[in-house]
Amino acid sequence: MSVSVSKINFMADSAEQPQANKTEQPTQTAAKNPINEQPQKDSFEHKKTVKNETENLSKPQNQQPAKKKTFKNKIASIAKFFTSTEEITKGTAKGAIYGTLTGALIMAFGWFKALPKGFKKGNSIIKVFKHPFQVISSKTKITAGITAAGIAAYNIVKGFLQANQRRAFIDQKLRNN
């Protein structure tokens, strides 16, 4: 028995089948697909229900009121605040000072390097000393600025990490004692 592709009925469960196709099809009925019988949820609805189920599982059934902070915890939180503020302030100050000094040194070396060029252009010695930024190349100015900003950022991040380490030390002491 040969069945042509044009006579295969892909809608086996449909009520509107032509009579010619019913006679030529095999007598076995196609197995019903249980997935197609259930209404499909949109992917957005499925994610929402999964999210709601996980939220319900994570929340305890009997919610107890939050414990009040003890005197020891209050003192520890105040100590963490002051130590972290101190470390971050130190890091910012170091970054500002070291960054400024580095930028100034790079600019000074650039100025000393550019002194002969300033004199060759016919400028007087007074003009070279009064307007040093006109003599320094823009490459040196950009290098000084980027280096100063990099050193300042490094020290600020280092101060923040040091503050985080100090906070963790205070938390560890609080839990162990």
pLDDT band at 25 (very low <50, low <70, confident <90, very high): low
At position 153, the amino acid (one-letter code) is A
pLDDT band at 62 (very low <50, low <70, confident <90, very high): low
Contact assessment for residue 112 and residue 104, using Cβ atoms and an 8 Å cutoff? no
pLDDT digits (tens, 9 = 90+) for 157-176: 999 999 999 999 988 888 88
Q: Report the pLDDT averaged over residues 111-126.
A: 75
Residues near 171 by Cβ (< 8 Å), separated by ≥ 6? Answer: 76, 80
> Using CA atoms, how far apart are residues 11 and 19, in angstroms rounded to an integer?
14
Return the domain boundaries, the chain.
71-176
> Using CA atoms, how far apart are residues 115 and 55, in angstroms rounded to an integer?
71
Whether 48 has a pLDDT exceeding 60, the answer reads: no
pLDDT digits (tens, 9 = 90+) for 69-113: 788 888 888 989 999 999 999 999 999 999 999 999 999 998 888
Residues near 98 by Cβ (< 8 Å), separated by ≥ 6? Answer: 151, 152, 155
The CA distances from residue 43 to 12, 19, 48, in Å, are 27, 38, 9
* pTM of the complete model beyond 0.75: no
> Using CA atoms, how far apart are residues 89 and 82, in angstroms rounded to an integer?
10
Q: Report the pLDDT averaged over residues 38-62.
A: 56
pLDDT band at 120 (very low <50, low <70, confident <90, very high): confident
Token pair, residue 60, equals 């305890």
pLDDT digits (tens, 9 = 90+) for 126-161: 777 777 787 788 899 999 999 999 999 999 999 999
Whether 5 has a pLDDT exceeding 70, the answer reads: no
Contact assessment for residue 110 and residue 147, using Cβ atoms and an 8 Å cutoff? no
Contact assessment for residue 155 and residue 149, using Cβ atoms and an 8 Å cutoff? no
